[in-house]
Each structure stands twice: as C-alpha cells, then as structure tokens.
Amino acid sequence: LILRGKPSLLGRGDKVSEFIKRGENTGEVEITLCTGNPQRPLVIHRKIKQNNSSEWKLNGHTVDAKKVLEQISELNVQLDNLCQFLPQDRVVAFSQLKPTELLMETEKAIGDAHLRKMHQDLIDMRNDIKGLGTRVQEHRQQLERYQEQNRVLERDVERVNERNRLYALIEELEKKKPWLKFEIAKDEWENARVNAKRTKNQMKEKEKQLQIARKPLTDKMAQRNEADKARKAIKLEEAQLLDKRQAVDEDLLKMGNNIEAVQQEIQNLQNTARQREAKMAKARAEIADLEAQISALPEPEDSTEEADRLKVDLRRLNNELKELGYRKTDTQHAAALPQRQLGEISAKLRKQADVRNQRIRALANKDPQGRIIKACEWVEANRSRFVGEVYGPILAEVHVNSKQHATYLEQHCPGWLWEAFVTTNAQDQTLLLTELRQHGTTVINYSGDPSVEIPEPHELEGLKQYGIQGTLDMVVEAPMVVKRILNDHAATARTYIGTQETESRMEEVAEIRAISCVFTPVSQYTYTTSRYSNARTSRVVAVRPPKLFLSSVDQAQVDLLKQQQRDAQNAVHSAEQQLAKIEEETKATDAALRAAREETSALLQRKSDYNKQVSKLKQQVNQKQVSLKALEKTNAGNQEEKLRKRCATINEKRLDKLLELHSMTMRMGNLQLQSEPLVLKIAECEVQIEHLKQEVSGLEAEGGQLAVEHEQHERKKEERKQRALELKKEAERVANLAHSSSCGPDGNRTCTPATCATADLEAKFEQMPGTLEELQDEIKEKNQEAEALFIRDPDVLNQYQERKKKIEDLESKLAAETDLYENGQSKIDELKGRWLPELKEVVEQMGRTFSESFAAIGCVGELGLEEHENFESYEMRIRVKFRAEEALQTLSSHRQSGGERSVSTMLYLIALQEFTKCPFRVVDEINQGMDAVNERKIFTKMVEAACRPDTPQCFLLTPKLLPQLEYSPAVTILNIMNGPRIKKVSSTWDPSRSYKFYKPNPSHAAMAR
C-alpha cells in the first residue's frame, strides 16, 4: 500500500479503507527507501481515509499520487511482478502462470527489464511484418495470375481493335450525316421564309380596302343612333306621363273610398245613439239590484274568544317544536365528532393496509416486466383453488415496528427470498410452480408444525452485557410459517441486534464463538469458522439504507386504531338513537301544530268570505255607476256634423284630379304623332347598315384568312429555323467543331462542312458520299463488316487494359513491399541476435542455480527456454521432481502440492535474484504449507541468497518459524508484539535462545533487512 500498489495484489481486499484498523477513521504507513545518495534516502508517507482517499508525502512534503508513482518507477519497483513481490495468497497464482507469462515476468525482473523490452519489440515487429509477408506472397501470386490472363486475351484484343477501327470509321461517317440533314433543313427554312413575306404583303393590301369600306358604314350608324336617341326621349316622356296618370287614378280611387267610409260612419253614429239610451236604462236597473243584495247578506258570529285560545295553543306548540330543534342540533353536534374521528381512523387504517401494495410495487421496481405483480394478481384471483394457506410475497407478509430493525432484516436476507411465495401444502406448491413458471416465481413449501415457537438462543441473556438487545426473529411480526421460512433460509434466530455499545466492544464480541452475525447501528459483522483449521474470519459491511422496507406497519398502532374505531362507532350509534327519539317527538308536536293552524285558518276564512262578498258587490255597483256616467256624457251630434264637412272637402279634391287627368291624355296624343317619322327613319338606316356590314365582313373574312395563312407560314419558318439550328448544333457536336455565330440560318454566310470543318475533317468529308442515302448505305455496309467479327466477350479490351494497369500498379507495390519486408526481417534478425543469446545465458545460469538448489534438498529441478517461430510463444519451463520414482514434470497448480509449489517458487526466486536490479524483494509466508525438512532447507537457501554481494534487500514475512534455524549476522529480525494478550509473553521472551548464527562465507558481506 505504501508503494502505490493496488489492494487487489494482496488478494485480501479491493479497497484501501479495508486495511484501516477497526474503530479508527484513518490509517498511516511510512517507508524509507535507499537511493543513489546514502545521505538522502526517500521517505514515503501515506495517510489512508475511510472514503478510500489518501494523502501522500515525500520527505515530509505533500505531493500527489502521480509523483509518488514516478519515484517508485525510477527505483524499478514492480509490485505487479510475482518474481519481485509475492504475497502469500498469490503463491498459487505464480504456479498458475503460463510458461509464456512466466518468461515475460522473468524478463521484467531481470536488470532494467531491457530483455523484456527487446522481447516485446520483437513481438511487435514480427506482428507488423507478418501481415506484410502474407501480402507480398498474395500480391506475387496475383501478379502471375493477371499476366497469364492477359496472354490468353491477346487474340481477342486484336479482333476488338479491328472492330473498333471499323466503328471509328462509322463514327466519322456519322459525323457527316448531320451536315447533310442540316443542308436539307436549311432549304426548307428558306422556302418558308419566302411564303411568309408574300402573305404579309397581301395582308397589308387587304387592310387598305377594309378601311375604305368602313367609312359609309360609320356615317349611316351615326344617323341611325341620332334618330334612335330622339325616339327614346319621346318614349321616356310617355312613360313618365303613364306613371303620373296611374298615380292620379289611384288618388281618385282612394278619394271615392274615403267618401264611402265617411258616409258609413255617419250611419254608425245614428245607430250608436239609439243603443246608448237602452244601455243607460239597463245600468240603472242593475245598480238597484246589487244594492238590494248587499242589504240582504247575513253578518258572521263573534269568534274573539276562540281566536285567543288558538293563539295560545299555537305559541305553546311553536316553543315545544323549537326546543326539539335545539335538542336535535345539540345531538347532531355531539355525533359529528365521533363520525369525524371514525373517518380519520378509517383513513389511517387504509394507509396501514396500503403498505402491502407499496412493498409489492417496491419489488416490481426491480423487475421492469412486472412479473411479481402478475404473480400476486394470479394468487389473489385463484385462492379458492388452494388446499391450505398460501402466503406471499414474503416481503408483504413481514412487519417490523422499528425502521432500523427493518433495515437490518432487508440487508441480512437474500433478495430472492422477499419475492418468494410460501405454501403449507405440497399440492399448492405444485400448482403455483406450474402456473407461475413463466414469471420465474420461487415457491417454498413448509411441511412442519407452524404452532411451535422458535426457541430463544440460550446465550442471549449473557450477551446483553455487550449491548445486544435480541435477534432479528424477535422483532419480526409475521405468520409463524413465514417466520419459520425466514429462519430456515436466513438464520434470523441466530442474527443478533446490537447497539452503539456493541460497536465499541466489537473486539470482545468477536471472540464469542456463538455469534455468527451481529448488526450495530453502522455495520454488519459476519463471522465464519474454517472446517479444517478452525480459524475464524470476519467480514464487515456498512449498513445500507433500505430499498424495500421504505414503509412499515406498526401493529400496536393498528390495534389502537381499531379500538378507537369501535369506540367511535358506539358513540355514533348512541347519538343516532337519541336523534330517532327526538325525531318522533318532533313529528307528534308538528302534527298538533298543523291541527291548530288549520282550525285558526277555518275561523279566519269564514270572516274573510263575508268581507269578500260585500267588497265584490260594492265593486260591481261602482263599476256600473262609472259606465252610466260615461254614457250620459257622450255627444253624437257634433261628430255627425264634422263627418259631413269632411265629405265635402274630399269631393273638391276629386274635381282637381279629373282636370289633371284630361291634360295628360292630350299630351300623350301629341307625343304619338312625333314618334312615327322617327321609327320609319330608323328602319331605313338599319337596312342600309346591314348591307354595308356584309361588305365589310367579306373583306374582314378575306383578311382573317390571309392572317391565318401568314401565321402558318411564320410558324413553319420558325420551326424550320429551329430545326436547322438544332441540326447545326448536332453537326457541331458530332464533328467536335466550334462554329461562328454567322453560320447557318439568319447568318451572313452558309455553314457547310467545307466552310466550318478542319482541313483534316474536310478532306475526309470530300471522300465520303455526297447524298444522305449514299452515306447511310456506306454506314450500313461498315456496320455489317464490324458485326461479322466474332468476339466472345465484348468487354475484353477493357478487361485487358484494366488488368494491364493493375499489373503495373501491382509490380510497383510488390517491389516496395518486398523491400519493406526484407528490411523488417533484417531488423528482427539483428535484434534477435542480441536478445536471444543474452536470454539463453541468463536462463542457463538461472538453471544451474535452480538445479543446484534442488539437488541440495534432495530433489531434481531444471529450467528450460523453449523457442518457437512466434516470439510471443517463447516459454520458460520449470520442471521439478520431488520423488525418485517420478519423472520431471512441469510445475503447475494441478500436479504439485501446496508445499511443493512453495519450494519450487522460492528456489526459482533465489535463482532469479542475482539478475534483478530492484531495491528490495518481499516474500509473504512462503513457508506455509512446507514440511519441516523442506522449510529448514529453503530457509537456509534464502539466508545464503540474501547475504550475497550486490543482491537486493529481501523481506520475509511469516507468522511462525521452526526452532533452531541458522541465521546470519547480516539478518535483521523484527518481532511484532501486538494484541491484548501478548504483553506477558513479550516480557518473558528471550531472543538469544531462539536464534543460532552460522559462520558465513567471508565473501558474503551483504545485509538483508
């Protein structure tokens, strides 16, 4: 850890915080390393924290971990090299190294690891040129294949070339064809241009004739329009007179109707006067009759005493009814409190019952497919099919009052157990397994007696002095079957619950063999005992927050709520009984009150009926008197006089209208006489205009025909021009010429092959046929000659040319790759010439030392370097033989025992030691597993090897040593006295009786520390 090594190298933990002493927050370690300057050693200090972070210091100065790693690398410290740092738990890993890996590790440990670097360079260089050599061979074979394929195609290529020559000639003939077509199109365009010019001149002449013919038509149409205008003015005046006459006729009709209406009104006034006299006589008679009826009505009896009595009864009944209302309100108020409490208690109980659903949803959150929910739904829907009780999932059946205890229980039990269902009948288990197989549900059947209580650990009473309160089984509330399952699969009855006091006394608790698992507020301690060595190991895990027991049921609270619910229900029932009694009394009082009100109402009704009859008769008398007065005031004589004057006024107005009508009739006769000459003149003009229009239409038709003909000639001219231009462009494109803009249609000169073509093309055109038909016959003949040449593959020329280009490219690439491959191979040979001899020499020297060491202990061992074609396959073989009847066998974790592997590993490290340049070497408990004879021999060899000149410092860590071992004066022994029971032993231990020094070789002057 102090040398920036990974905790995993020790094989005992993954985090540096696991090496901090129990109960402490930090741990510190320091090492002093020798450097090139003896006066300035390198002091490295590391402070490890519980969050796995560290603080580093070099020679007292705070630095980062990267700086420490650079200093360690400069000293060639290789903690990941088993040949330099061999922890106890990785001795097996050393024997499991493959021969190729062993060679690599050995090379890294030798000197400055230059052999390892050269070996890796050889591997990389061989990998680089391996693909290059393959490509050179492939390219050489491909080149030969291309060359052979082109030789086969040469005769076909000759035929292709001949056909291409004919096609080239045909292409030149085709170049003249557009020019001949252009000449034909140009002549057609010239003819169309002449025709268009001729029709244009004819159109101008016809337009002049049309203008001469239109003048008399225009004059005659003006005369016609003037006469028509005068006739329209007369018609307009006639229409106005007709409208006025119609209006006068309507006024005369209205006046006649008004006179008749006035005469009718006069007649009506006379009839009304006679009727009014009759009505007045009838009204006087009716008034006298009504007054007689009022006098004849009998008056009601006096009921004052009866009315007073009824008032007293009504007041008394109203007071009683009001008092019952007050009592009902008080009773309702008294019942509202327990009703409200009942609702609150029910809500709390529902909340407690919803904990089961919350826990099922917590399980479903781990399963995106929702299988646990589907399983629960199936179980609830099919409970009628079960023979016995079915519980589950277990998480929903378990209740823990303390949140802290629930955290312990969730962390202790395996996750699959919470999703499991529990049956008490084997048939139910089979049914669940069959139906819920697709959901992957675990089903556990309990066949024992659930009524038997789980016994309390007998040692629990003695453990309470350490702060242990009980076991997990004691805090769990669940059906006994579920508690049995929890204990069978998670040993809840043997898992103890501790306190902070337990945490502070964990060193004492760890010595109690009866405890296999204990929880404290911050950690879970688990202890295991080896079945072979009876050694006891511990594992400490921090207590994690719960994920499933986020909500819990307090059973005591549930019981209290249920009792409060029953009390509230009783209070509500008592209040409802009181309200029913008050309701009956209220109904009786209300009935009596209604009877008294009805009697009072009948008394008042009799008096009210008498008053209404008198009032009604008096009202009728008043109405008759008012009508009589109105009839007496009416005066019909004045109205008749007014109507007669109105009739005379209307007759005077009728006379004025008749005179106006006569005047309008005379004017309409005069207008009729003025209109007749104008009509005759308009008819005469219409005949003359029609004749002139026919003449103009004939000229316009002839002009239109000329215009259509001219348009057709113009369109033909443009079409011929466009056709000629397109043929000109096509001829230019085919001949690949750049022509002047003055050539062709509308140009200043004629465009022909003789004027636009190059001298070479002009000469060729001169030798070709001069007409289009002859040229097409020539092209057809050449096509037949070309088609007569048989070619198996039309693409043979392209294949030949492409392959020829590939051959040239491949020859160039092959030459470059061959040079590169030969250069790479020469570099490999040169580097191998330096690496392999040196490696063989080292292996040979190591082999001699290794064999001598094995011979010294009465066994046989040898080292061998096996060469291969691939440098990554080079192997270092360790072959050993510990018994005479055996043959040499390769060291492995399968053939040799642990002690034999330790002996072989240690002797290999001793043989490697004189070639390493590291500052020190660490070997941890290498003697564990060896028999006493081999351990004594190996220890002697280690002492000898560690004391040789120019060897690195060597550390041997071991919990025990054999007695009477031989030590060298160059060996320093450090005894670690630690632990609560070591004080007495350390005070009586005498190192002088424990070590024996042998006389070392005079040449041995090194010191191992």
Reported confidence tier of residue 3, pLDDT bands at 50, 70, 90 = confident
Of 302, 298, 303, the closest CA to residue 614 belongs to 298
Distant-in-sequence, close-in-space partners of 592: CB < 8 Å, separation ≥ 6: 317
Q: What is the pLDDT of residue 572?
A: 78
- Give the C-alpha separation, 596 to 581, whole Å: 23
Are 814 and 140 within 8 A, CB to CB? yes
Contact between residue 536 and residue 513 where contact means Cβ atoms under 8 Å apart:
yes
**What does the pLDDT read at residue 95?**
64
Rounded alpha-carbon distances, angstroms, from residue 213 to 206, 210, 284, 686, 900: 11, 5, 105, 17, 141
pLDDT band at 862 (very low <50, low <70, confident <90, very high): very high
Residue 886 CA from chain centroid, whole number: 67
- Do 233 and 678 form a contact (C-beta atoms < 8 A)? no
Model confidence pLDDT, tens digit, residues 202-237:
888 878 877 787 777 788 788 878 878 888 888 887
- The arithmetic mean of pLDDT across residues 356-367, rounded, is 79
CA distance 940 to 946: 10
Residue-wise pLDDT tens digits, 121-177: 888 888 888 777 777 788 888 878 877 776 766 677 777 777 777 777 777 777 777
User: Considering the chain, what is the average pLDDT of its residues?
Assistant: 78
Which residues contact residue 976 at a Cβ distance below 8 angstroms, ignoring those fewer than 6 apart? none
What is the model's pLDDT at position 999? 46
How confident is the model over 931-951, as a mean pLDDT?
78
- Contact by Cβ (8 Å): 625, 287: yes
Q: CB neighbours of 621 closer than 8 A, spacing ≥ 6? A: 287, 290, 291, 294
At 993 the pLDDT is 57
pLDDT at 498 over 90: yes
Q: Kindly state the average pLDDT of the residues 407-422.
A: 91
| Cβ-based neighbour number of residue 322 at 10 Å | 11
pLDDT at 806: 79
With a cut of 80, say whether residue 924 has pLDDT above it.
Answer: no
What predicted TM-score, i.e. pTM, was given to this entire model? 0.37
pLDDT for the residue 854: 86
- Cα separation, 875 vs 293, in Å, equals 151
- Report the C-alpha gap between 863 and 849 in whole angstroms: 10
Please give the average per-residue pLDDT across 69-82, as a whole number: 72
Does residue 657 have a pLDDT over 60? yes
pLDDT band for position 991 (cuts 50, 70, 90): low
Structure confidence at residue 71 as a pLDDT band (50, 70, 90) = confident
Considering only residues 597 and 444, tell me which one the structure prediction assigns the higher pLDDT: 444
Question: Residue 252: exposed, middle, or buried by beta-carbon count in 10 A (0-12, 13-18, 19+)?
Answer: middle
pLDDT tops 80 at residue 544:
yes
- What digits encode the pLDDT tens for the residues 679-721? 777 787 778 778 877 887 887 788 788 788 888 888 887 887 8
Q: How far apart are CA 176 and CA 166, in angstroms?
A: 16
The CB density around residue 572, as the number of other CB atoms within 10 Å, is 17
pLDDT at 356: 75
Q: Are 132 and 824 in contact (CB under 8 A)?
A: yes
Residue 927 has what DSSP assignment? T
> With bands split at pLDDT 50, 70 and 90, how would you rate the model's confidence at 110?
confident
> What pLDDT sits at residue 794?
62
Other Cβ atoms less than 10 A from the Cβ of 472: the count is 24
More confident call, 982 vs 687: 687
Sequence-ordered alpha helix ranges (H) in 857-914? 898-913
Q: What is the pLDDT of residues 616-647, one digit of tens each?
A: 777 777 777 777 777 666 655 567 677 777 77
Residue 863, number of CB atoms within 10 A of its CB: 23
State the Cα angle at 553 between 551 and 554, rounded to 5°.
125
More confident call, 927 vs 269: 269
Beta strands in 925-1009 (DSSP E): 953-957, 966-967, 996-997
Per-residue DSSP letters for 731-754?
HHHHHT----TTBSTTSSB---HH
Q: Please name the residue that has the structure tokens 């249920």.
A: 562
Helices (H), strands (E): how many in the chain? Answer: 25, 22
What would the DSSP string read from start to end of 418-443?
Answer: HT-EEESSHHHHHHHHHHTGGGT--E
Q: Mean pLDDT, to the nearest integer, of 306-324?
A: 78
Q: What is the dihedral of CA 894, 895, 900, 905, to 10 degrees?
A: -60
Q: What does the H/E/C string look like for 166-195?
A: HHHHHHHHHHHHHHHHHHHHHHHHHHHHHH
Please say if the pLDDT value at position 756 is more than 60: no
Chain CA centroid to CA 360, Å: 26
Q: What is the pLDDT of residue 712?
A: 83
Highest mean pLDDT among 315-319, 400-404, 609-613, 885-889: 400-404
Across the range 983-987, mean pLDDT stands at 66
CB count in 10 Å sphere of residue 429: 20
The pLDDT assigned to 708 comes to 83
Pairwise CA distance, residues 889 & 898, whole Å? 15
Helix (H, G, I), strand (E, B) or coil at 372: helix
pLDDT at 377 over 80: yes
Residue that is written with structure tokens 């003789």 in the block: 754
Peptide bond into 99 cis (omega under 30): no
Average pLDDT over residues 858-864: 89
Q: 413 pLDDT exceeds 90?
A: yes
Kindly state the percentage of the chain with pLDDT values over 70.
84
pLDDT of res. 1002: 39
Phi, psi of 745 (to 5 degrees): -60, 140
Phi, psi (degrees; rounded to nearest 5) at 367: -125, 100
Question: Between 523 and 593, where is the model more confident?
Answer: 523
Does residue 1 have a pLDDT over 90?
no
